[in-house]
Chain A
Amino acid sequence: ELKVEQNPLFLSMQEGKNYTIYCNYSTTSDRLYWYRQDPGKSLESLFVLLSNGAVKQEGRLMASLDTKARLSTLHITAAVHDLSATYFCVTTALGGSQGNLIFGKGTKLSVKP
C-alpha cells in the first residue's frame, strides 16, 4: 500500500526565514505533486514533478524529486505571511488510476511577522 509521509506536520516560521518540508513515499511512483490548501478552501496545484531530478520553482517555493530515494522536498525561501497554508505532498501508485491520488497528512505552515 502506497503511503506518503510528510514532515514536519506543523511549521511556524518567521518572515524572511528559509525552511524545507520533506515528503517520503513508500513505493515506486512516476509522479509527485504539491498542492496548497488555505483553511476551508479548495486545493490548488503548485507543482507537478514527473521525473527523477525534476526541480521546479515558483516565486519563493521550489520543489524537487528524487525517485530513487522516494523523496520530494518543498523549499521555502524568505517566507512571507501569504505563504501561510497547508501544503500537501501527493502521489499516485505506479500503474494505478490517475485520479487515485494518495495524499500526505499535510504540513500546516504559519508564517509570522
Chain B
Amino acid sequence: DSGVTQTPKHLITATGQRVTLRCSPRSGDLSVYWYQQSLDQGLQFLIQYYNGEERAKGNILERFSAQQFPDLHSELNLSSLELGDSALYFCASSTVPRSDTGELFFGEGSRLTVL
C-alpha cells in the first residue's frame, strides 16, 4: 500500500459525459501528479500540482482539468468524454517539488470506461 488513495476504482460512463476522479496523497506529500495509462499511448504524464498550485503540464487535453485543494487532495475532471479517453488514470504523490530521489508513489488507479 503506497498510501495514495484514489476513488472511484472503476467508472463506466457514456460519451459526452463528465467525470471527476479524486486522489488523496500520502500523508505529508505536497505534490500530486496525474498519469494516464492506455493501451495505445502507454503511461503519460498529465499534470502536477504542488501545494495547491499547478507546477507542470504534460500531455493533458483541454477537455481535462485538475485542481489541488487546501487539504492537498486533488481532483481530475474529464469532460466531453470520448471513447479514446477510456484508460487507467493514476495519481501519484511525492514530498517536496524535487525530492532527493524523484521517486513517486502511485495510487491503485481509477479505471474509466467510456461507452
A residues with CB within 8 A of B: 31, 33, 40-45, 48, 50, 88, 92, 97-103, 105-106
Number of interface residues of B (CB under 8 A): 29
When A41-B108, A88-B43, A106-B42 are in contact, do A99 and B94 touch as well, CB less than 8 Å? yes
Q: Are B106 and A98 in contact (CB under 8 A)?
A: no
Cα distance, A33 to B92, chains bound together (Å): 15
Interface residues of A: mostly helix, strand, loop or mixed? loop
Which B residues are CB-close (under 8 A) to A100?
A: 45, 48, 56, 58
Q: Are A99 and B101 in contact (CB under 8 A)?
A: no
- Tell me the chain B residues, 32-88 only, with Cβ under 8 Å from chain A: 33, 35, 42-45, 48, 55-56, 58, 88
Cα distance, A101 to B45, chains bound together (Å): 7
